[in-house]
Structure 1
Amino acid sequence: MKELIEKALQQYRAKRGFDAVKWVDAKCRMFNDYMRSCGLKAACVSVSGGVDSAVTLGLIKHAMDMSGSPIERILGISQPIHSSQWAYDRAMECGAKCRMFNDYMRSCGLKAACVSVSGGVDSAVTLGLIKHAMDMSGSPIERILGISQPIHSSQWAYDRAMECGKALGVEMVVVDQTPVFDSLKQLVDTSVGIEGKDFASGQLRSYMRTPVGYYVAQLLSQAGTPCVVMGTGNRDEDGYLGYFCKAGDGVVDVQLIADLHKSEVFKVGAVLGVPESILRSPPSADLWEGQTDENELGVTYDFVELYTGWFLPLQDSEKKAFVEGMDEETKKEWEHFSQICETVHRRNAHKLNGPKNLNVL
């Protein structure tokens, strides 16, 4: 199965023709345009210590460093809460993405962007793209703010988030919500009469980071730099699996890497100068001790990329021929992993839509 996935992925990625350098440039120009059009000047990011928030932070810093960027400040927020220690040839390549973002910022009168920086690759790349957009000539972005929001978080998450902000030259702030989390969780658990376990507790951490991001955006807007809250979701997690917290990291204003597979996020991160400590680490939301994304999902990101990016778009006859060409053991594994993807997709489909209105009139 491993050899099959590697070979098929090689063909798919060659066809996609992803160019990380061009993608970063386009993404940051787009972000600067968005910030400028919206009158935004700063961005804040919750920084967990993982690769996602680290890359998001890096993209914002890259945008900010561009000539003419409207971004004046970036703030990373670390919020530990009981956390453990621990090419594509699409219309939106990097330069185009950043130009688009700058256009958006400009049209909306925005001048700032804030990003929650987790210490992961997604937030790091997002931060880097925003910085790249900000550095573009004529960018409306004046400020980018990365936000690290530790809530009993692993030390590695906090360290990587701060390392990312420093490497990208983005302003970071830390909002440690651990005592607030402890108090709130105990209050709610006692009131309901049910003790929240790892998963529910982890979701609460994500929920709590959302209002902080938006409050920071309000503060930056109050200070004269109308601010937008940036999302850090990628194509595999947010686009198909729905692997995000609906009322947590799913509540944002703008997404910059929603068109990138996880593997491509890492490539962009390397171009943006995201620290190796983030690029070498397995993706983890750090919502409980020892948690990793792939272990929780039960499937690798490489398989998700192959399945959603290459297999699903095939004609039914092509799908059938592909599966029938496998030996029995490989076919069994393929069906098992495919079922996981489909199950997660169906379970989380509600996250991809707005509230369900049951109207009588």
Structure 2
Amino acid sequence: MNPEIQRRLQLDEALTVAVLTAFIREEVEKAGFSKVVFGLSGGIDSALVAYLAARALGAERCLAVMMPYTTSNPKSLEDAQAVVEDLGLPSLVVPISGPVDAYFAGMDERLGVPATPLRRGNRMARERMSTLFDLSAHHGALVLGTSNKTELLLGYGTQFGDLASALNPIGDLYKSQVRQLSRFVGVPTAILEKPPSADLWQDQTDESELGFTYDFADEVLYQLVDLRLSPEELAANGYDERVLQGIVRRVQRNQYKRKPPVIAKLSSRTIGVDFRYLRDWGQ
């Protein structure tokens, strides 16, 4: 990563943790809840959320849910369990192979073709989020999101799947910042050092699927989004124009994933347009 961009992305770790733990505590309570529930995949993003939530609310008010699929790497569950044990979190293991496979067994027959890895992965992500919201209703716990800023900007996630949540404490942290903060709060070394993966199919890694590293994405996105430089300005600074345009297209194309559903305006006050209040309105 460009040393100057790397310097700019560096966090005041103690201050950032203080802000994010206060955010979790205050937003959960303002929404009328006292507990949270989140998916714990064994990856760095959900691990960081677990450490932040435990600091904010106390481990006893946090439910970590591990939802492996048949093709999930067994090491992912081991790493998630290590976080649970380190923090003393209440936890559940809810395998999702049964409902996902049952759906595709019927749908593949109807459509006459087997599901692509993309469709199967999206179904897995939505099955996991459906499980979390069901447990949210049972336990009266708010669902925490685990998607970082890099993923949100690139649209690297499943709408109404892993991108869904009631509250996301790490959505304004680039991936490199997630790594920095994870080291600071004590996320296990095994999680810090392994390649990022959504673990949706065997040998899948985020960076091989994206076609570039997270460090490169952070470097480009920070300049495009935070510094508001144009793609032409970055190209003039030596960045590959083809790769730049690919990233820009991803950010633009996936804007719909970052927005609530668009409502056609017919009345004088339309929800999300003229009728807008804070999320804790009425509490």
TM-score range, shorter chain: 0.7 to 0.9
Instruction: Output the CA distance in 2 between the equivalents of 1:247 and 1:20.
Output: 31
- 1:65-112 Cα offsets, whole Å, 9 max, x none, are xxxxxxxxxxxxxxxxxxxxxxxxxxxxx1022112212222222110
Secondary structure class of the residue paired with 2:212: coil
Question: In 2 relative to 1, CA 263–186 (structure 1 residues): closer, same or farther, beyond 3 Å?
Answer: same
Secondary structure class of the residue paired with 2:64: strand
Partner of 2:275: none
Q: How does 1:257-336 map to 2 (within 5 A)?
A: 257-312=170-225, 313-315=227-229, 320=233, 323-326=235-238, 331=239, 334-336=240-242
Partner of 1:235: 149
- What TM-score does the superposition give when structure 1 sets the normalisation length? 0.69
Secondary structure class of the residue paired with 1:245: coil
Partner of 1:64: none
Q: 1:99–1:133: 8 Å Cα contact kept in structure 2?
A: yes
Partner of 2:255: 349
Q: 2:65–2:91: 8 Å Cα contact kept in structure 1?
A: yes
Partner of 1:161: 80
Secondary structure class of the residue paired with 2:18: helix
Instruction: Output the CA distance in 2 between the equivalents of 1:104 and 1:295.
Output: 36
- 1:232-256 Cα offsets, whole Å, 9 max, x none, are 0111111x11111002112210000
1:311: how far off? 4.3
Secondary structure class of the residue paired with 2:255: helix
Percentage of matched positions with identical amino acids = 26
Instruction: Output the CA distance in 2 between the equivalents of 1:134 and 1:310.
Output: 35
1:180: how far off? 2.2
Of 94, 98, 101, 2:24 maps to 101
1:194: how far off? 2.7
Instruction: Output the CA distance in 2 between the equivalents of 1:283 and 1:95.
Output: 26
- 1:222-279 Cα offsets, whole Å, 9 max, x none, are xxxxx100100111111x1111100211221000001111011111111221111110
Q: 2:69–2:96: 8 Å Cα contact kept in structure 1?
A: yes
1:353: how far off? 1.8
Instruction: Output the CA distance in 1 between the equivalents of 2:263 and 2:30.
Output: 31
Instruction: Output the CA distance in 1 between the equivalents of 2:132 and 2:237.
Output: 49
Secondary structure class of the residue paired with 2:34: strand
Could you tell me which runs of 5 or more consecutive residues in structure 2 were left unpaired when the two chains were aligned: 268-283
Secondary structure class of the residue paired with 2:254: helix
1:358: how far off? 4.9
Question: In 2 relative to 1, CA 278–16 (structure 1 residues): closer, same or farther, beyond 3 Å?
Answer: closer
1:162: how far off? 1.1
2:76 matches 1:143: no
Of 109, 116, 130, 1:211 maps to 130
Q: Which amino acid aligns with 1:354?
A: P
Secondary structure class of the residue paired with 2:98: helix
Q: 2:35–2:57: 8 Å Cα contact kept in structure 1?
A: no
Instruction: Output the CA distance in 1 between the equivalents of 2:256 and 2:138.
Output: 32
Could you tell me which runs of 5 or more consecutive residues in structure 1 were left unpaired when the two chains were aligned: 1-5, 24-93, 136-140, 222-226
Partner of 2:118: 199
Q: 1:299–1:340: 8 Å Cα contact kept in structure 2?
A: no
Instruction: Output the CA distance in 2 between the equivalents of 1:347 and 1:98.
Output: 32
Of 41, 47, 58, 1:124 maps to 47
1:215: how far off? 1.0
Q: 1:111–1:142: 8 Å Cα contact kept in structure 2?
A: no
Question: In 2 relative to 1, CA 325–301 (structure 1 residues): closer, same or farther, beyond 3 Å?
Answer: closer
Instruction: Output the CA distance in 2 between the equivalents of 1:292 and 1:16.
Output: 24
Of 19, 35, 38, 2:12 maps to 19
2:84 matches 1:172: no
Instruction: Output the CA distance in 2 between the equivalents of 1:289 and 1:107.
Output: 41
Q: 2:64–2:89: 8 Å Cα contact kept in structure 1?
A: yes
Q: Quick check: which one's strand share is greater?
A: 1
1:314: how far off? 4.4
Question: In 2 relative to 1, CA 355–105 (structure 1 residues): closer, same or farther, beyond 3 Å?
Answer: closer
Instruction: Output the CA distance in 1 between the equivalents of 2:237 and 2:221.
Output: 19
Partner of 2:163: 250
Q: 2:235–2:244: 8 Å Cα contact kept in structure 1?
A: no
- 1:130-185 Cα offsets, whole Å, 9 max, x none, are 011124xxxxx851100000111111111111112112221221001212222121
Question: In 2 relative to 1, CA 325–257 (structure 1 residues): closer, same or farther, beyond 3 Å?
Answer: closer
Residue-pair matches, total: 265
Secondary structure class of the residue paired with 1:232: coil
Q: How does 1:2-13 map to 2 (within 5 A)?
A: 6=1, 8=2, 10-13=3-6
Instruction: Report the RMSD for the aligned CA atoms in angstroms.
Output: 2.1
Q: 1:115–1:213: 8 Å Cα contact kept in structure 2?
A: yes
Instruction: Output the CA distance in 1 between the equivalents of 2:80 and 2:220.
Output: 31
1:201: how far off? 1.0
1:347: how far off? 2.9
Instruction: Output the CA distance in 1 between the equivalents of 2:228 and 2:32.
Output: 42
Secondary structure class of the residue paired with 2:41: coil
Q: How does 1:28-43 map to 2 (within 5 A)?
A: none
